[in-house]
Chains A and B, each alone.
Chain A
Amino acid sequence: MLELKDIKKSYKIGPIELEVLKGISLFIDKGELLSIMGPSGCGKSTLMNIIGLLDKPTSGSYLISNNQISYTDDDKLSNIRNRKIGFVFQNYHLLPKLNALDNVSIPLIYRGDKKQERRRKSLDFLKKVDMHTRAYHRPSELSGGQQQRVAIARALVGNPSIILADEPTGALDTKIGDEIMNLFKKLNKDESITIIIITHDPNIAKECSRVVYMKDGLIHDHKI
Chain B
Amino acid sequence: MIIKSNIKEAFRSLYSSKQRTILALIGIIIGIGAVISMVSIGKIVQNESLKGFKALGTDILTIQNNYSPQKNPSSNKSDIRLKDILYIPSQCDAIEKVSPFIVSGDSVSFKGKKIESGSIIGVTESYFEISKVKISKGRAISDLDKYYNFCVLGNNIYEKVSKIQIDNIIGEKIKIGRNIFIIIGFAEKKPLGVFSFFDINESVFIEINRFMRMGNKGEISNITAKIKPGVDQITAKSQIIDYFKKLTKANNSVNILNPEEIIAQMEKQMQLYTLFLGAIGSISLLVGGVGVMNVMLVSVTERSKEIGLRRALGARRKDIRGQFLVEAITLSIIGGIFGIILGVGISFIIAYFVKWDFLISYNAIALGVIVSSAVGIFFGLYPAHQASKLDPIVTLRTG
Contacts and interface: CB of A to CB of B under 8 A. Distances in A.
Interface of A: 49, 52, 54-55, 74-75, 78-79, 81-83, 87, 89, 91, 93, 95, 97, 106-107, 109-115, 154, 158
A89 B395 CA distance: 13
Contacts of B392: 54
Interface residues of B, number: 24
B319 interface: yes
B1 A112 contact: yes
B97 interface: no
A54 B319 contact: no
Contacts of A154: 313
B393 A55 contact: yes
Interface string B112-156: 000000000000000000000000000000000000000000000
A87 B315 CA distance: 14
A115 B393 contact: no
Contacts of A109: 1-2, 5, 315
B156 to A, nearest CB: 71
Given A114-B1, A115-B1, A82 B396 contact: no
Nearest to A81: B314
Given A54-B392, A55-B393, A115-B4, A91 B399 contact: yes
B306 A95 contact: yes
B399 A93 contact: yes
A112 B16 contact: no
A115 B5 contact: yes
A167 to B, nearest CB: 13
A82 B314 contact: yes
A113 B1 contact: yes
A120 B130 CA distance: 79
A95 B399 CA distance: 12
A158 B314 contact: yes
Contact of B393 (A49, A82, A112): A49
B312 A52 contact: yes
B241 interface: no
A49 to B, nearest CB: 5
Contacts of B173: none
Given A91-B399, A97-B12, A111 B314 contact: yes
A107 B399 CA distance: 19
Contacts of B306: 95
B111 interface: no
Given A54-B396, A93-B309, A74 B317 contact: yes
A134 B317 CA distance: 32
B268 interface: no
Contacts of B4: 115
A110 B312 contact: no
Given A55-B393, A115-B1, A107 B314 contact: yes
Nearest to A55: B393
Given A91-B399, A106-B309, A110-B319, 6 more contacts: A54-B392, A55-B393, A74-B316, A97-B12, A109-B1, A110-B2
A164 to B, nearest CB: 10
Contacts of A111: 314
Interface string B1-16: 1101100000011001
B249 interface: no
A89 B392 CA distance: 14
Nearest to B309: A93
Contacts of A75: 316-318
Contacts of A82: 313-315
Interface string B301-328: 0000110011111111111000000000
Contacts of B314: 78-79, 81-83, 107, 110-111, 158
A184 to B, nearest CB: 19
Nearest to B399: A93
B393 A54 contact: yes
Nearest to B314: A82
A54 B12 CA distance: 27
B330 to A, nearest CB: 16
Contacts of A52: 312
A176 B123 CA distance: 107
Nearest to A110: B314
B396 A93 contact: yes
A112 B5 CA distance: 10
**Which of A75, A87, A95 is most buried by chain B, counting CB atoms within 10 A of its CB?**
A95
B1 A54 contact: no
Interface in B378-399: 392-393, 396, 399
A155 B315 CA distance: 14
Contacts of B316: 74-75, 78-79, 110
A126 B389 CA distance: 32
A112 B315 CA distance: 11
Given A54-B312, A79-B314, A89 B2 contact: no
